[in-house]
Chains A and B, each alone.
Chain A
């Protein structure tokens, strides 16, 4: 089973538009998922320039999926969804 990777964008747009407090994920994720999920901050993911400018920032990438207007809750929801998918695929 592949590890799930969470990338929290700390580009200027994301950080200022709400990403600052997403740094909490760096503590929450290891506590909640142990080493099944990798979490790290990332330089600008480039999402703010393609997706209706800044108004949907902050962005977080969970594997290849982009979570827009990310909140801690929304990101954890996406992680749960992908973990569940992985388990189903293994069966």
Chain B
């Protein structure tokens, strides 16, 4: 039976604020799972803490709502123990780029085959609007007592520097594009990162839906407001590393970093960088342990009739006196 979109929805009451950008992301994930026909028991959503952390409860696949900043660690453990699972990780910007930044960088180095979506709204919503690591220096969103004193981190740039092999950005009010990006990210062999711009209607009164749509972004010649968001694919941008020559890799990394630095008047979305020529972590294990992918930790038989079946005699022989 063909899976339907409704199969991937739970009946859990969604308590996000009206107009929250998170709704679009959950819909896009559900649409992507439906379109890819991933059996419900073969998929898991791992989420962090904060508004975005509740995502796993709204999607009818395995849902693991973890700890603040630690979601990537739980997800990687699960994926490495059962590489057959399709794993999508959902977390906030504070979760992934503040408290969890160390795990973000380490995950990039590993390149485990899964998808990581950051819900980026530049504020800590569930604790009433403090500045998150992606809020620009000097901005004073409405519940900040003083303007933000920190520089913002660049999620795309950090992902590229950390070694993520797929780096993209979506916008939560463009659900169709976001769904396509999620599908591309899930199909990517390796760790995919999606920075999803997601206005917080309650606490971020600067980077609003209208702001992204062009509010205050006046074209000097036409005197009309210009949408800030545009799609890289519409500009003929090619994010993919095809041959892995040093020259090509440098070129693709550099253009991605230049695009990552665009903000304010022109904000690119789409795939910034993709390199499938770098082996995922699972492949690196399989190079050492040939039957790893067919016989991963989750599937290995360990006992028969309550007795261990692992043969430790060789190890014990080596210790015999």
Please say whether chains A and B are actual partners in one complex.
no
Contacts from A to B (Cβ < 8 Å): none
